[in-house]
Amino acid sequence: MQEFDLPVTKTVLVVGGGLAGMTCSLAIAGQGYEVHLLEKDTELGGIARRIHTTLEGIDVPKFLSEVIKKVYRNPLIHVYTNARVREATGYVGNFATVVDSERGITEIKHGATVIATGADVYTPTEYLYGQNERVLTHLELEERIAAREESLVNADSLVMIQCVGSRNEERPYCSRVCCSEAIKNALKLKGINPGIDIYIIYRDMRTYGLKEDYYREAAAKEVNFIHYEPENAPQVESINENDHEILRITVPDPVLKKMIAIDADFLALSAAVVPSAGTEELAGLFRLTLNPDGFFKEAHVKLRPVEFSTDGVYLCGMAHYPKHITETLSQAYGAAGRVLTLLSKNTITASGSVCEVDEKRCIGCGACNSACTYGAIEMRETKQGQKASVNPVLCKGDGLCNTKCPTGAISLKHYTNEQLMSQINAAFAEDMVTKR
């Protein structure tokens, strides 16, 4: 290993002002480091602003309000709202990011970056959503329950359809939070109006862990669960009976083994959790990897769950994948811990297997620069003309640039042509001796 005595900027950039971003910022600032917190909206909170309670009964608005107050009262946390990242350069310990926000154009120099951009909710095109005002997403349903909307809390019947926009060809993943959200809203409504008929039409109820207890509680309170397969998805139509508009949901019942029709006053859809807008752009700016579903991909699912393969950049919250608030907070603290580990050091350790350039042989063609996926090679003007230069902190030693160089000016340390040929000759020499 080689140690490069490069100064580490003791400042952190956190992209995303939801619960994950704010929690991570507070943990880092609590250790005396300066944090620049970016939020794309006009106020902090992210999607948590639309959640009123958790399945376990935590008052989310109260909790969120306290976190936001702590952020604004902390002198080490600088908040940028209506913020967009325009440019990101540098490397671990020495990043420079240009931000456009309500403060104007600002260049922020920082040693580490945390990505906590959260996620969005899929806007359904199925089941008359957007065409009938009685068809809601679960977030909209929760907001109306919290407001005690009379037509809803006094309704006779409500149907919920799970896996809307997810677990299909376009989005094969499970959104994880939907089943718990459906159970939560069903129990809330049952608590207000015990006589309401609630039907949950599901593919698989995934109230994992101790949340299974709430599923059992819902079943005990006569919430009806009806299983369906994707090839026999529910059908929804709006009909008028006696000058009263109702929603008729038709679905095959696996127990009765026949089609049943349920007339409902309201229909709630468990819409998929999708990557937030701008995820791809941000991944390009910071040279990050996305998984096949479009969420940010960690360096290693078990060994480095809050890190990227790009050194100095960390991950937390629903930008990673759909997760509950408790899981989001745990990952935010984990990301803060990794950031603090980096900032506590004054030197950056890089691998000894890095590339180096022989300037005498370099013709400045730039082939190595375009081949490097890590941005480790830059073209510099010298007295002898344009020459390639390698940043050893960014270099990962994959050797791709070596194969592109027409003059052999760039080579991987400990893997030079001479060394490789010596190994080959030695191997063949042993083979010749054996044959004799």
Q: What is the pTM of this model?
A: 0.86
- pLDDT at position 420, please? 78
How far, in Å, CA of 83 to CA of 74, rounded?
20
Among the four given CATH numbers 3.30.1330.20, 3.30.70.20, 1.10.490.10, 3.40.50.1820, the one describing domain 353-435: 3.30.70.20
How far, in Å, CA of 248 to CA of 77, rounded?
52
- Residue burial 75-90, b: 16+ Cβ < 10 Å; e: rest: ebbbbbbebebeebeb
Residue with tokens 């811990």: 337
- pLDDT at position 25, please? 98
- Write out the chain's pLDDT in tens, 436 residues: 455 566 789 999 999 999 999 999 999 999 999 999 999 999 999 999 999 999 999 999 999 999 999 999 999 999 999 999 999 998 888 899 999 999 999 999 999 999 999 999 999 999 999 999 999 999 999 999 999 999 999 999 999 999 999 999 999 999 999 999 999 999 999 999 999 999 999 999 999 999 999 999 999 999 999 999 999 999 999 998 777 889 999 999 988 889 999 999 999 999 999 999 999 999 999 999 999 999 999 999 999 999 998 889 999 999 999 999 999 999 999 999 999 999 998 877 666 678 889 888 999 999 999 898 888 888 988 888 899 988 877 888 888 898 899 998 898 887 777 887 888 888 887 665 555 5
- pLDDT at position 433, please? 58
Shortest CA distance to 70 belongs to which of 142, 19, 117? 19
Residue range 252-273, pLDDT digits in tens: 998 888 999 999 999 999 999 9
Beta strand 157-164 pairing with 197-202: parallel
C-alpha distances (whole Å) from 70 to each of 28, 43, 63, 313, 372 are 13, 14, 11, 24, 42
| Helices 212-220/178-192 angle, 10° precision | 40
How far, in Å, CA of 352 to CA of 389, rounded?
16
The per-type count for the chain, helices as H runs and strands as E runs, is: 11, 24
- pLDDT at position 4, please? 55
Q: Which residues pair with 268 in a beta bridge?
A: 136, 160
- pLDDT at position 350, please? 63
- pLDDT at position 434, please? 59
Residue with tokens 């950049």: 313
CATH 3.50.50.60 fits 121-273, yes or no: yes
Burial (CB count within 10 angstroms: exposed 0-12, middle 13-18, buried 19+), residue 331: buried
Residue range 367-418, pLDDT digits in tens: 999 898 888 888 988 888 899 988 877 888 888 898 899 998 898 887 777 8
- pLDDT at position 384, please? 86
- Asked if 12 and 34 touch (Cβ cutoff 8 Å), the reply is yes
Residue with tokens 């910022």: 25
- Asked if 112 and 314 touch (Cβ cutoff 8 Å), the reply is yes
C-alpha distances (whole Å) from 111 to each of 107, 254, 311, 332, 355 are 13, 57, 10, 18, 23
Does the fold of domain 121-273 match that of domain 2-118+276-348? yes
How far, in Å, CA of 385 to CA of 430, rounded?
46
Top CATH class of 2-118+276-348 equals alpha beta
Q: Where are the domains of the chain?
A: 2-118+276-348, 121-273, 353-435
How far, in Å, CA of 120 to CA of 133, rounded?
21
How far, in Å, CA of 425 to CA of 420, rounded?
9
Q: Which token pair is 72? A: 């604004």
- pLDDT at position 65, please? 97
- pLDDT at position 149, please? 96
